[in-house]
Amino acid sequence: MTVHGTRTIRVDTLARVEGEGSLYIKLVGERVADVKLKIYEPPRFFEAFLRGRHFSEVADITARICGICPIAYQMSAIHAIERALGVRIDPRVRLLRRLFYCGEWIESHTLHVYMLHAPDFLGYQDVIAMAGDHRAVVEKALRLKKVGNRIVQLLGGREIHPISAAVGGFYKTPTKQQVRDLVPDLEWALEASLETVRWTAGLKFPDFEQDYEFVALRHPDEYPFNEGRLVSNRGLDIDAAEYEDHFAELHVKHSNALHSVVRGRGSYLVGPLARFNLNFDKLPEVARQAAVDAGLQPPVKNIFRSIVVRAVEIVFACVEALRVIREYEPPAAPRVEVPNRIGVGQAITEAPRGILYHRYALDENGLIVTAKIVPPTSQNQKRIEDDLREYAAQLVAWPLEEATWKCEQAVRSYDPCISCATHFLKLVVEREDAGN
Amino acid sequence: MLIIGCGNRQRSDDGAGILVAERLRDLGIPAETRSGEAADLIEAWRGADDVIVVDAVMTGAPVGTVQAWDARQPLASVSTTASTHGLGVAEAIGLAQVLQCLPAQLQVYGIEGRRFEPGAEISPEVQRAIEDVARRIIARLSA
Protein backbone atom coordinates (compact mmCIF):
# COMPACT_ATOMS: atom_id res chain seq x y z
CA MET A 1 0.00 0.00 0.00
CA THR A 2 1.36 3.39 -0.92
CA VAL A 3 0.58 6.17 1.44
CA HIS A 4 0.69 9.82 0.56
CA GLY A 5 0.50 12.88 2.73
CA THR A 6 1.28 13.23 6.40
CA ARG A 7 0.27 10.72 9.02
CA THR A 8 0.84 10.74 12.71
CA ILE A 9 0.24 7.82 15.06
CA ARG A 10 -0.95 8.76 18.51
CA VAL A 11 -1.56 6.80 21.70
CA ASP A 12 -2.38 8.78 24.76
CA THR A 13 -1.21 6.46 27.46
CA LEU A 14 1.70 4.11 27.37
CA ALA A 15 0.66 1.43 29.80
CA ARG A 16 2.84 -1.16 31.44
CA VAL A 17 5.99 0.82 31.62
CA GLU A 18 6.97 1.95 35.08
CA GLY A 19 5.24 5.27 35.27
CA GLU A 20 4.07 7.32 32.33
CA GLY A 21 5.57 9.38 29.57
CA SER A 22 4.82 10.23 25.99
CA LEU A 23 5.89 9.19 22.55
CA TYR A 24 5.06 10.95 19.31
CA ILE A 25 5.67 9.56 15.84
CA LYS A 26 4.98 11.45 12.65
CA LEU A 27 4.90 9.74 9.27
CA VAL A 28 4.99 11.64 6.00
CA GLY A 29 4.11 9.27 3.18
CA GLU A 30 6.27 6.25 3.84
CA ARG A 31 8.94 8.26 5.58
CA VAL A 32 9.19 8.62 9.35
CA ALA A 33 9.47 12.37 9.77
CA ASP A 34 9.73 12.63 13.52
CA VAL A 35 10.05 10.51 16.66
CA LYS A 36 9.97 12.12 20.06
CA LEU A 37 10.09 10.30 23.37
CA LYS A 38 9.20 12.76 26.10
CA ILE A 39 10.30 12.01 29.60
CA TYR A 40 11.02 13.91 32.78
CA GLU A 41 13.86 13.28 35.13
CA PRO A 42 13.45 12.94 38.87
CA PRO A 43 17.08 11.88 39.32
CA ARG A 44 17.95 15.49 38.47
CA PHE A 45 15.77 16.52 41.36
CA PHE A 46 17.55 14.05 43.58
CA GLU A 47 20.94 15.40 42.52
CA ALA A 48 19.93 18.75 43.98
CA PHE A 49 18.23 17.15 46.98
CA LEU A 50 21.41 15.22 47.87
CA ARG A 51 23.65 18.30 48.05
CA GLY A 52 24.56 19.12 51.63
CA ARG A 53 23.49 15.71 52.94
CA HIS A 54 25.94 13.45 54.75
CA PHE A 55 27.15 10.47 52.72
CA SER A 56 25.57 8.09 55.24
CA GLU A 57 22.11 9.32 54.16
CA VAL A 58 22.65 8.77 50.46
CA ALA A 59 21.74 5.08 50.25
CA ASP A 60 18.43 5.72 51.97
CA ILE A 61 17.57 8.73 49.82
CA THR A 62 18.54 7.24 46.45
CA ALA A 63 16.58 4.05 47.23
CA ARG A 64 13.46 6.19 46.96
CA ILE A 65 14.09 7.27 43.39
CA CYS A 66 12.58 4.06 42.04
CA GLY A 67 10.14 1.61 43.59
CA ILE A 68 11.24 -1.13 41.20
CA CYS A 69 15.03 -0.91 41.38
CA PRO A 70 15.95 0.61 44.76
CA ILE A 71 18.87 -1.81 45.16
CA ALA A 72 20.51 -0.57 41.98
CA TYR A 73 20.32 3.03 43.20
CA GLN A 74 21.73 2.05 46.58
CA MET A 75 24.53 -0.02 45.10
CA SER A 76 25.72 2.60 42.61
CA ALA A 77 25.56 5.27 45.33
CA ILE A 78 27.39 3.21 47.94
CA HIS A 79 30.11 2.03 45.57
CA ALA A 80 30.72 5.56 44.32
CA ILE A 81 31.03 6.91 47.87
CA GLU A 82 33.26 4.03 48.91
CA ARG A 83 35.53 4.83 45.99
CA ALA A 84 35.54 8.50 46.96
CA LEU A 85 36.60 7.58 50.48
CA GLY A 86 38.98 4.75 49.60
CA VAL A 87 36.95 2.17 51.55
CA ARG A 88 37.74 -1.50 51.17
CA ILE A 89 34.86 -3.77 52.04
CA ASP A 90 34.96 -7.27 53.51
CA PRO A 91 34.78 -9.89 50.69
CA ARG A 92 31.85 -11.46 52.56
CA VAL A 93 30.00 -8.17 52.36
CA ARG A 94 30.77 -8.08 48.65
CA LEU A 95 29.17 -11.52 48.29
CA LEU A 96 26.08 -10.38 50.18
CA ARG A 97 25.74 -7.41 47.88
CA ARG A 98 25.68 -9.81 44.93
CA LEU A 99 22.92 -11.76 46.64
CA PHE A 100 21.03 -8.51 47.23
CA TYR A 101 21.27 -7.68 43.52
CA CYS A 102 20.11 -11.22 42.60
CA GLY A 103 16.92 -10.53 44.53
CA GLU A 104 16.27 -7.32 42.65
CA TRP A 105 16.93 -8.88 39.25
CA ILE A 106 14.58 -11.78 40.00
CA GLU A 107 11.83 -9.40 41.13
CA SER A 108 12.22 -6.82 38.40
CA HIS A 109 12.77 -9.21 35.49
CA THR A 110 9.87 -11.43 36.53
CA LEU A 111 7.57 -8.44 36.76
CA HIS A 112 8.63 -7.26 33.33
CA VAL A 113 8.67 -10.62 31.52
CA TYR A 114 5.30 -11.91 32.71
CA MET A 115 3.25 -8.95 33.80
CA LEU A 116 4.37 -6.09 31.60
CA HIS A 117 5.71 -7.55 28.36
CA ALA A 118 4.19 -11.02 27.81
CA PRO A 119 0.65 -9.64 27.29
CA ASP A 120 1.97 -7.81 24.19
CA PHE A 121 3.23 -11.00 22.62
CA LEU A 122 0.09 -12.98 23.42
CA GLY A 123 -2.31 -10.29 22.23
CA TYR A 124 -3.83 -9.32 25.58
CA GLN A 125 -4.61 -5.83 26.74
CA ASP A 126 -2.90 -6.49 30.05
CA VAL A 127 -1.88 -9.16 32.53
CA ILE A 128 -5.40 -9.25 34.01
CA ALA A 129 -6.82 -10.34 30.66
CA MET A 130 -3.92 -12.72 30.19
CA ALA A 131 -4.50 -14.29 33.61
CA GLY A 132 -7.96 -15.40 32.56
CA ASP A 133 -6.46 -17.75 29.96
CA HIS A 134 -3.04 -18.34 31.51
CA ARG A 135 -3.76 -18.54 35.19
CA ALA A 136 -1.01 -21.02 36.05
CA VAL A 137 1.56 -18.87 34.25
CA VAL A 138 0.59 -15.75 36.21
CA GLU A 139 0.52 -17.68 39.49
CA LYS A 140 4.02 -18.90 38.76
CA ALA A 141 5.13 -15.34 38.00
CA LEU A 142 3.80 -14.11 41.34
CA ARG A 143 5.60 -16.87 43.19
CA LEU A 144 8.84 -16.30 41.30
CA LYS A 145 8.76 -12.58 41.96
CA LYS A 146 8.17 -13.28 45.63
CA VAL A 147 11.38 -15.31 45.84
CA GLY A 148 13.30 -12.21 44.74
CA ASN A 149 11.32 -10.16 47.21
CA ARG A 150 12.29 -12.49 50.07
CA ILE A 151 15.98 -11.97 49.34
CA VAL A 152 15.56 -8.19 49.20
CA GLN A 153 13.60 -8.19 52.44
CA LEU A 154 16.13 -10.35 54.25
CA LEU A 155 19.04 -8.10 53.26
CA GLY A 156 17.21 -4.80 52.96
CA GLY A 157 15.32 -4.99 56.19
CA ARG A 158 11.89 -3.94 54.99
CA GLU A 159 9.46 -4.26 52.12
CA ILE A 160 9.94 -0.97 50.30
CA HIS A 161 12.93 1.33 50.13
CA PRO A 162 15.34 -1.10 51.75
CA ILE A 163 17.40 0.52 54.47
CA SER A 164 20.07 -1.94 55.53
CA ALA A 165 22.71 -1.27 52.86
CA ALA A 166 25.33 1.20 54.03
CA VAL A 167 28.61 2.77 53.01
CA GLY A 168 31.16 0.22 54.27
CA GLY A 169 28.78 -2.77 54.33
CA PHE A 170 25.34 -3.32 55.80
CA TYR A 171 23.80 -2.03 59.01
CA LYS A 172 22.84 -5.59 59.75
CA THR A 173 23.86 -8.86 58.12
CA PRO A 174 21.87 -12.09 58.15
CA THR A 175 22.90 -15.28 59.89
CA LYS A 176 24.01 -18.33 57.95
CA GLN A 177 20.73 -20.02 58.78
CA GLN A 178 18.69 -17.07 57.53
CA VAL A 179 20.30 -17.19 54.10
CA ARG A 180 20.12 -20.99 54.00
CA ASP A 181 16.38 -20.74 54.57
CA LEU A 182 16.15 -19.21 51.09
CA VAL A 183 17.49 -22.36 49.40
CA PRO A 184 14.25 -24.33 48.84
CA ASP A 185 12.58 -21.24 47.33
CA LEU A 186 15.58 -20.59 45.11
CA GLU A 187 15.78 -24.19 43.95
CA TRP A 188 12.14 -23.95 42.91
CA ALA A 189 12.82 -20.55 41.32
CA LEU A 190 15.70 -21.97 39.27
CA GLU A 191 13.38 -24.57 37.74
CA ALA A 192 10.68 -21.95 37.21
CA SER A 193 13.17 -19.62 35.53
CA LEU A 194 14.30 -22.39 33.15
CA GLU A 195 10.64 -22.92 32.27
CA THR A 196 10.41 -19.17 31.74
CA VAL A 197 13.24 -19.28 29.20
CA ARG A 198 11.49 -22.07 27.28
CA TRP A 199 8.14 -20.30 27.49
CA THR A 200 9.43 -16.93 26.27
CA ALA A 201 11.45 -18.63 23.50
CA GLY A 202 8.15 -19.88 22.09
CA LEU A 203 6.77 -16.36 21.60
CA LYS A 204 6.64 -14.81 18.16
CA PHE A 205 9.14 -12.00 17.54
CA PRO A 206 8.96 -9.25 14.95
CA ASP A 207 11.80 -9.42 12.46
CA PHE A 208 13.75 -6.37 13.61
CA GLU A 209 17.53 -6.44 13.99
CA GLN A 210 19.61 -3.33 14.52
CA ASP A 211 23.30 -2.61 14.59
CA TYR A 212 23.72 -1.56 18.22
CA GLU A 213 26.63 -0.35 20.23
CA PHE A 214 26.07 -2.54 23.29
CA VAL A 215 27.41 -1.09 26.55
CA ALA A 216 27.70 -3.09 29.76
CA LEU A 217 30.01 -3.86 32.64
CA ARG A 218 32.47 -6.69 32.21
CA HIS A 219 34.24 -8.43 35.07
CA PRO A 220 37.05 -10.97 34.63
CA ASP A 221 35.30 -13.71 36.61
CA GLU A 222 31.62 -12.91 36.89
CA TYR A 223 28.47 -11.96 35.06
CA PRO A 224 28.34 -8.31 36.10
CA PHE A 225 26.40 -6.68 38.93
CA ASN A 226 28.46 -4.24 40.97
CA GLU A 227 31.91 -4.21 39.45
CA GLY A 228 33.88 -4.36 36.26
CA ARG A 229 35.09 -2.22 33.42
CA LEU A 230 32.60 -0.55 31.14
CA VAL A 231 32.97 -2.11 27.70
CA SER A 232 31.25 -2.08 24.33
CA ASN A 233 31.35 -4.05 21.10
CA ARG A 234 32.98 -1.02 19.48
CA GLY A 235 36.13 -0.96 21.51
CA LEU A 236 35.11 0.96 24.62
CA ASP A 237 36.98 -0.32 27.67
CA ILE A 238 37.05 2.14 30.56
CA ASP A 239 36.87 2.55 34.30
CA ALA A 240 33.76 4.16 35.80
CA ALA A 241 35.90 7.20 36.60
CA GLU A 242 36.29 7.81 32.86
CA TYR A 243 32.57 7.58 32.08
CA GLU A 244 32.00 11.29 31.58
CA ASP A 245 35.02 11.51 29.26
CA HIS A 246 33.38 9.02 26.91
CA PHE A 247 29.69 9.75 27.28
CA ALA A 248 27.89 13.05 26.84
CA GLU A 249 24.41 14.12 27.81
CA LEU A 250 22.57 16.27 25.31
CA HIS A 251 19.66 18.55 26.02
CA VAL A 252 16.78 17.93 23.62
CA LYS A 253 13.96 20.38 23.23
CA HIS A 254 11.07 17.92 23.52
CA SER A 255 12.10 16.25 26.77
CA ASN A 256 13.24 17.24 30.23
CA ALA A 257 15.45 14.20 30.19
CA LEU A 258 18.97 14.38 28.83
CA HIS A 259 19.89 12.10 25.94
CA SER A 260 23.08 10.13 26.48
CA VAL A 261 25.43 9.45 23.60
CA VAL A 262 28.85 7.88 23.21
CA ARG A 263 31.02 10.86 22.33
CA GLY A 264 31.76 10.90 18.61
CA ARG A 265 29.42 7.98 17.87
CA GLY A 266 25.85 8.46 19.05
CA SER A 267 23.21 6.29 20.64
CA TYR A 268 23.92 3.01 22.41
CA LEU A 269 22.03 0.24 24.14
CA VAL A 270 22.28 -0.80 27.79
CA GLY A 271 20.41 -3.58 29.58
CA PRO A 272 19.89 -7.32 29.17
CA LEU A 273 20.88 -7.59 25.47
CA ALA A 274 24.07 -5.61 26.05
CA ARG A 275 25.02 -7.62 29.14
CA PHE A 276 24.25 -10.92 27.47
CA ASN A 277 26.14 -10.15 24.27
CA LEU A 278 29.21 -8.85 26.08
CA ASN A 279 29.26 -11.41 28.90
CA PHE A 280 27.85 -14.61 27.43
CA ASP A 281 31.02 -16.47 28.44
CA LYS A 282 30.51 -15.46 32.08
CA LEU A 283 27.05 -16.98 32.42
CA PRO A 284 26.90 -20.16 34.48
CA GLU A 285 26.67 -23.28 32.33
CA VAL A 286 22.99 -23.91 33.06
CA ALA A 287 22.02 -20.39 31.98
CA ARG A 288 24.24 -20.53 28.88
CA GLN A 289 22.75 -23.86 27.86
CA ALA A 290 19.21 -22.58 28.44
CA ALA A 291 20.01 -19.62 26.19
CA VAL A 292 21.43 -21.80 23.43
CA ASP A 293 18.45 -24.16 23.63
CA ALA A 294 16.20 -21.11 23.32
CA GLY A 295 17.98 -20.14 20.11
CA LEU A 296 19.99 -17.28 21.60
CA GLN A 297 23.57 -16.85 20.45
CA PRO A 298 25.44 -13.60 20.89
CA PRO A 299 25.14 -11.14 19.35
CA VAL A 300 21.37 -10.98 19.79
CA LYS A 301 20.35 -7.86 17.83
CA ASN A 302 16.57 -8.07 18.05
CA ILE A 303 15.35 -5.93 20.96
CA PHE A 304 12.08 -7.86 21.13
CA ARG A 305 14.08 -10.94 22.13
CA SER A 306 15.18 -9.15 25.29
CA ILE A 307 12.23 -10.87 26.98
CA VAL A 308 14.04 -14.21 26.51
CA VAL A 309 17.34 -12.71 27.64
CA ARG A 310 15.65 -11.40 30.79
CA ALA A 311 14.47 -14.94 31.47
CA VAL A 312 18.05 -16.21 31.01
CA GLU A 313 19.19 -13.57 33.48
CA ILE A 314 16.63 -14.80 36.01
CA VAL A 315 18.24 -18.26 35.65
CA PHE A 316 21.62 -16.63 36.24
CA ALA A 317 20.35 -14.75 39.30
CA CYS A 318 18.98 -17.95 40.85
CA VAL A 319 22.20 -19.89 40.21
CA GLU A 320 24.29 -17.02 41.55
CA ALA A 321 22.12 -16.62 44.64
CA LEU A 322 22.48 -20.31 45.41
CA ARG A 323 26.27 -20.07 44.95
CA VAL A 324 26.51 -17.10 47.30
CA ILE A 325 24.40 -18.86 49.90
CA ARG A 326 26.64 -21.95 49.75
CA GLU A 327 29.75 -19.80 50.30
CA TYR A 328 28.27 -17.37 52.79
CA GLU A 329 29.91 -16.81 56.16
CA PRO A 330 28.71 -13.81 58.15
CA PRO A 331 31.34 -11.07 58.16
CA ALA A 332 33.11 -10.34 61.45
CA ALA A 333 31.51 -6.88 61.41
CA PRO A 334 28.55 -5.90 59.22
CA ARG A 335 30.40 -2.82 58.05
CA VAL A 336 33.66 -0.97 58.39
CA GLU A 337 33.66 2.46 59.97
CA VAL A 338 34.14 5.17 57.36
CA PRO A 339 35.64 8.50 58.45
CA ASN A 340 34.72 11.79 56.77
CA ARG A 341 37.14 13.11 54.19
CA ILE A 342 37.33 14.99 50.92
CA GLY A 343 36.99 12.87 47.81
CA VAL A 344 35.35 12.23 44.47
CA GLY A 345 34.09 8.81 43.44
CA GLN A 346 32.25 7.28 40.51
CA ALA A 347 30.58 3.90 40.21
CA ILE A 348 28.51 1.97 37.71
CA THR A 349 26.36 -1.02 38.55
CA GLU A 350 23.98 -3.08 36.46
CA ALA A 351 20.39 -2.21 37.28
CA PRO A 352 17.94 -4.73 35.76
CA ARG A 353 17.34 -2.32 32.88
CA GLY A 354 21.00 -1.36 32.32
CA ILE A 355 23.96 0.52 33.68
CA LEU A 356 23.39 3.14 36.36
CA TYR A 357 26.13 5.74 36.81
CA HIS A 358 26.63 7.79 40.00
CA ARG A 359 29.29 10.34 40.88
CA TYR A 360 29.69 12.12 44.23
CA ALA A 361 32.05 14.80 45.45
CA LEU A 362 32.38 14.99 49.24
CA ASP A 363 33.79 17.71 51.48
CA GLU A 364 35.92 17.29 54.62
CA ASN A 365 32.80 16.75 56.73
CA GLY A 366 31.52 13.97 54.48
CA LEU A 367 28.81 16.18 53.02
CA ILE A 368 27.77 15.89 49.38
CA VAL A 369 29.08 18.80 47.32
CA THR A 370 27.84 17.51 43.96
CA ALA A 371 25.93 14.43 42.87
CA LYS A 372 25.40 13.12 39.37
CA ILE A 373 23.05 10.28 38.46
CA VAL A 374 22.62 8.89 34.95
CA PRO A 375 19.83 6.27 34.96
CA PRO A 376 19.66 3.46 32.37
CA THR A 377 16.47 4.70 30.77
CA SER A 378 17.95 8.05 29.83
CA GLN A 379 20.94 6.20 28.38
CA ASN A 380 18.61 4.13 26.21
CA GLN A 381 16.32 6.99 25.35
CA LYS A 382 18.04 8.12 22.16
CA ARG A 383 18.39 4.50 21.09
CA ILE A 384 14.64 3.96 21.61
CA GLU A 385 13.94 6.91 19.32
CA ASP A 386 16.46 5.66 16.73
CA ASP A 387 14.87 2.20 16.78
CA LEU A 388 11.35 3.56 16.51
CA ARG A 389 12.37 5.63 13.50
CA GLU A 390 13.36 2.35 11.80
CA TYR A 391 10.52 0.29 13.18
CA ALA A 392 7.76 2.78 12.42
CA ALA A 393 8.91 2.79 8.79
CA GLN A 394 7.97 -0.90 8.66
CA LEU A 395 4.53 -0.12 10.05
CA VAL A 396 3.31 2.55 7.67
CA ALA A 397 0.95 0.16 5.92
CA TRP A 398 -0.55 -1.23 9.12
CA PRO A 399 -3.91 -0.08 10.47
CA LEU A 400 -3.57 2.60 13.12
CA GLU A 401 -4.52 0.43 16.06
CA GLU A 402 -2.05 -2.33 15.25
CA ALA A 403 0.78 0.07 14.45
CA THR A 404 0.21 1.74 17.77
CA TRP A 405 0.16 -1.56 19.62
CA LYS A 406 3.40 -2.58 17.97
CA CYS A 407 5.10 0.69 18.88
CA GLU A 408 4.07 0.27 22.49
CA GLN A 409 5.39 -3.27 22.49
CA ALA A 410 8.65 -1.99 21.05
CA VAL A 411 9.03 0.66 23.75
CA ARG A 412 8.34 -1.87 26.48
CA SER A 413 11.18 -4.05 25.14
CA TYR A 414 13.65 -1.67 26.76
CA ASP A 415 11.87 -2.00 30.11
CA PRO A 416 11.92 1.76 30.44
CA CYS A 417 11.83 2.65 34.10
CA ILE A 418 9.98 5.85 33.50
CA SER A 419 9.56 6.48 37.18
CA CYS A 420 13.31 6.82 37.54
CA ALA A 421 14.11 8.46 34.23
CA THR A 422 10.83 10.29 34.18
CA HIS A 423 7.53 10.90 35.78
CA PHE A 424 4.25 10.26 33.94
CA LEU A 425 4.93 9.00 30.41
CA LYS A 426 2.20 9.24 27.82
CA LEU A 427 2.71 7.45 24.54
CA VAL A 428 1.45 9.48 21.61
CA VAL A 429 1.61 7.81 18.23
CA GLU A 430 -0.20 9.96 15.71
CA ARG A 431 -1.20 9.28 12.14
CA GLU A 432 -3.00 11.31 9.58
CA ASP A 433 -4.06 9.59 6.36
CA ALA A 434 -3.71 11.09 2.92
CA GLY A 435 -6.36 13.65 2.21
CA ASN A 436 -7.07 14.30 5.89
CA MET B 1 -7.39 -6.50 59.93
CA LEU B 2 -4.48 -5.80 57.59
CA ILE B 3 -3.89 -2.12 56.74
CA ILE B 4 -1.64 -1.26 53.80
CA GLY B 5 -0.57 2.27 52.85
CA CYS B 6 0.76 2.53 49.28
CA GLY B 7 2.83 5.11 47.47
CA ASN B 8 6.14 6.91 47.38
CA ARG B 9 6.98 9.44 50.07
CA GLN B 10 9.33 11.23 47.66
CA ARG B 11 6.59 11.89 45.09
CA SER B 12 4.66 14.67 46.75
CA ASP B 13 1.00 13.68 47.16
CA ASP B 14 1.78 10.09 46.15
CA GLY B 15 3.00 9.78 49.76
CA ALA B 16 -0.59 10.02 51.09
CA GLY B 17 -1.08 6.29 51.61
CA ILE B 18 2.29 5.93 53.33
CA LEU B 19 1.49 8.85 55.63
CA VAL B 20 -1.84 7.32 56.65
CA ALA B 21 0.00 4.11 57.58
CA GLU B 22 2.61 6.09 59.53
CA ARG B 23 -0.10 8.08 61.31
CA LEU B 24 -1.78 4.86 62.40
CA ARG B 25 1.52 3.39 63.57
CA ASP B 26 2.12 6.48 65.68
CA LEU B 27 -1.17 5.67 67.38
CA GLY B 28 -0.07 2.11 68.00
CA ILE B 29 -2.09 0.56 65.18
CA PRO B 30 -0.09 -1.86 63.00
CA ALA B 31 -0.01 -0.82 59.34
CA GLU B 32 2.22 -1.84 56.44
CA THR B 33 3.73 0.38 53.78
CA ARG B 34 4.12 -0.82 50.20
CA SER B 35 5.06 0.69 46.86
CA GLY B 36 1.63 -0.28 45.52
CA GLU B 37 3.07 -2.46 42.76
CA ALA B 38 0.38 -5.02 41.90
CA ALA B 39 2.24 -8.31 42.34
CA ASP B 40 3.66 -7.12 45.62
CA LEU B 41 0.23 -6.09 46.91
CA ILE B 42 -1.29 -9.46 46.02
CA GLU B 43 1.43 -11.18 48.02
CA ALA B 44 0.99 -8.73 50.87
CA TRP B 45 -2.70 -9.48 51.31
CA ARG B 46 -2.53 -13.19 50.47
CA GLY B 47 -4.18 -15.13 53.29
CA ALA B 48 -5.73 -12.06 54.91
CA ASP B 49 -9.52 -11.87 54.91
CA ASP B 50 -10.08 -8.28 56.00
CA VAL B 51 -7.89 -5.68 54.33
CA ILE B 52 -7.77 -1.89 53.99
CA VAL B 53 -5.62 -0.33 51.26
CA VAL B 54 -4.91 3.41 51.08
CA ASP B 55 -3.40 5.03 47.98
CA ALA B 56 -3.24 8.39 46.26
CA VAL B 57 -5.42 8.66 43.15
CA MET B 58 -6.01 11.08 40.32
CA THR B 59 -9.60 10.87 39.13
CA GLY B 60 -10.37 14.50 38.41
CA ALA B 61 -12.18 15.02 41.73
CA PRO B 62 -11.24 18.02 43.89
CA VAL B 63 -7.86 17.63 45.59
CA GLY B 64 -8.17 15.98 48.97
CA THR B 65 -11.39 14.15 48.12
CA VAL B 66 -11.51 10.76 49.80
CA GLN B 67 -13.20 7.99 47.86
CA ALA B 68 -13.87 4.72 49.62
CA TRP B 69 -14.89 1.68 47.71
CA ASP B 70 -15.41 -1.99 48.20
CA ALA B 71 -12.97 -3.88 45.98
CA ARG B 72 -15.67 -6.41 45.21
CA GLN B 73 -17.55 -3.70 43.32
CA PRO B 74 -16.60 -2.84 39.74
CA LEU B 75 -13.61 -0.54 39.58
CA ALA B 76 -14.28 1.32 36.35
CA SER B 77 -14.53 4.71 37.99
CA VAL B 78 -11.28 4.43 39.87
CA SER B 79 -9.01 2.93 37.24
CA THR B 80 -7.01 6.13 36.95
CA THR B 81 -4.79 5.77 39.98
CA ALA B 82 -1.82 8.05 39.87
CA SER B 83 0.63 5.48 41.12
CA THR B 84 4.13 5.97 39.77
CA HIS B 85 4.37 2.26 39.11
CA GLY B 86 3.26 0.32 36.05
CA LEU B 87 0.61 -1.79 37.70
CA GLY B 88 -1.09 -0.33 40.72
CA VAL B 89 -3.86 -0.97 43.20
CA ALA B 90 -6.65 -1.22 40.59
CA GLU B 91 -4.64 -3.78 38.63
CA ALA B 92 -3.84 -5.71 41.79
CA ILE B 93 -7.55 -5.97 42.54
CA GLY B 94 -8.40 -6.93 38.96
CA LEU B 95 -5.70 -9.56 38.87
CA ALA B 96 -6.63 -10.95 42.30
CA GLN B 97 -10.24 -11.28 41.12
CA VAL B 98 -9.18 -13.33 38.11
CA LEU B 99 -6.84 -15.45 40.24
CA GLN B 100 -9.53 -15.77 42.90
CA CYS B 101 -7.26 -14.54 45.67
CA LEU B 102 -9.09 -11.35 46.57
CA PRO B 103 -9.54 -11.01 50.34
CA ALA B 104 -13.13 -11.63 51.51
CA GLN B 105 -13.24 -7.97 52.53
CA LEU B 106 -11.13 -5.33 50.86
CA GLN B 107 -11.81 -1.67 51.41
CA VAL B 108 -9.84 0.87 49.37
CA TYR B 109 -9.45 4.51 50.32
CA GLY B 110 -8.31 6.73 47.45
CA ILE B 111 -7.04 10.19 48.30
CA GLU B 112 -7.16 12.62 45.40
CA GLY B 113 -3.73 14.18 44.89
CA ARG B 114 -2.63 17.25 43.00
CA ARG B 115 1.13 16.96 42.54
CA PHE B 116 3.08 13.80 41.84
CA GLU B 117 6.41 15.42 41.12
CA PRO B 118 9.57 14.51 43.03
CA GLY B 119 9.53 16.09 46.45
CA ALA B 120 8.31 15.42 49.94
CA GLU B 121 5.78 18.24 50.13
CA ILE B 122 2.13 17.23 50.62
CA SER B 123 -0.72 19.48 49.47
CA PRO B 124 -2.67 20.91 52.45
CA GLU B 125 -5.93 19.35 51.22
CA VAL B 126 -4.21 15.97 51.02
CA GLN B 127 -2.78 16.49 54.50
CA ARG B 128 -6.31 16.97 55.84
CA ALA B 129 -7.53 13.93 53.91
CA ILE B 130 -4.77 11.83 55.49
CA GLU B 131 -6.11 12.73 58.95
CA ASP B 132 -9.65 12.02 57.77
CA VAL B 133 -8.79 8.57 56.43
CA ALA B 134 -6.82 7.70 59.58
CA ARG B 135 -9.86 8.69 61.67
CA ARG B 136 -12.21 6.65 59.48
CA ILE B 137 -10.01 3.58 59.79
CA ILE B 138 -9.80 3.99 63.56
CA ALA B 139 -13.58 4.34 63.70
CA ARG B 140 -13.95 1.16 61.72
CA LEU B 141 -11.53 -0.67 64.01
CA SER B 142 -13.47 0.42 67.08
CA ALA B 143 -16.86 -0.45 65.59
Q: What is the CATH number of the domain that holds A65?
A: 1.10.645.10
Instruction: Determine the residue of chain B that is closest to A142 in CA distance.
Output: B39
More confident residue, A314 or A8: A314
A426 or A45: whose pLDDT is higher?
A45
Torsion of CA A297, A302, A307, A313, to 10 degrees: 40
What's the pLDDT tens digit per position in A191-222? 999 999 999 999 999 999 999 999 999 999 99
Domain count within chain A: 1
Q: Running DSSP on this structure, what letter comes out for residue A187?
A: H
Residue of B nearest to A17 (CA): B86
The predicted pLDDT at position A258 comes to: 77
Give the orientation angle of helix A306-327 with respect to helix A91-110, to 10 degrees: 150
More confident residue, A270 or A430: A270
- Identify all chain B residues contacting A19, using CB atoms and an 8 Å cutoff: 84-86
Q: What is the per-residue DSSP string for A8-30?
A: EE--S--TTSSS--EEEEEEETT
Length reported for chain B: 143
Helices (H), A251-305: 272-279, 285-293
Q: Quick check: A407 pLDDT over 60?
A: yes
Q: What is the mean pLDDT of residues A247-272?
A: 88
In this prediction, residue B10 carries a pLDDT of: 80
**Is residue A302 helix, strand or coil?**
coil
Asked if A420 is an interface residue toward chain B (Cβ–Cβ < 8 A), one would say no
Assess contact for A391 and A32: CB atoms under 8 A: no
Tell which wins on pLDDT, A69 or B42: B42
C-alpha A32/C-alpha A11 separation (Å) is: 16
Mean pLDDT on A180-195: 98
**Has residue A9 been placed in a domain?**
no
Q: Tell which wins on pLDDT, A289 or A399.
A: A289
pLDDT at A7: 56
Q: Are strands A6-9 and A22-28 parallel, antiparallel or unpaired?
A: antiparallel
Question: Which positions 139-158 of A are in contact with B (Cβ < 8 Å)?
Answer: 139, 141-142, 145-146, 149
- Reply yes or no on whether the pLDDT at A18 is more than 60: no
pLDDT value at position A232?
Answer: 98
Q: Which domains are present in chain B? A: 2-142 (3.40.50.1450)
* Residues on chain B touching A145 (C-beta within 8 angstroms): 39-40, 43
Contact B16, B56 (CB under 8 A): yes
> pLDDT digit string (tens) for A129-173?
999 999 999 999 999 999 999 999 999 886 666 779 999 999 999
Q: Which of residues 62-101 of A touch B (CB under 8 A)?
A: 64-65, 67-68
Q: Which of B43, B84, B85 sits opposite A149 (nearest CB)?
A: B43
CA atoms within 13 A on the CB side of A416: 37
**Mean pLDDT of the region A110-126:** 91
pTM value surpassing 0.80: yes
Residues A147, A323: Cα–Cα separation, whole Å: 16
Domain that holds residue A108: 43-393
Kindly report the average pLDDT of chain A as a whole number: 87
Element (H, E) at A65: none
> Exposed/middle/buried for A400, CB within 10 Å: 0-12, 13-18, 19+?
middle
Q: Is residue A18 part of a domain?
A: no
* Average of per-residue pLDDT across A427-433: 47
The predicted pLDDT at position A4 comes to 44
pLDDT of res. A260: 92
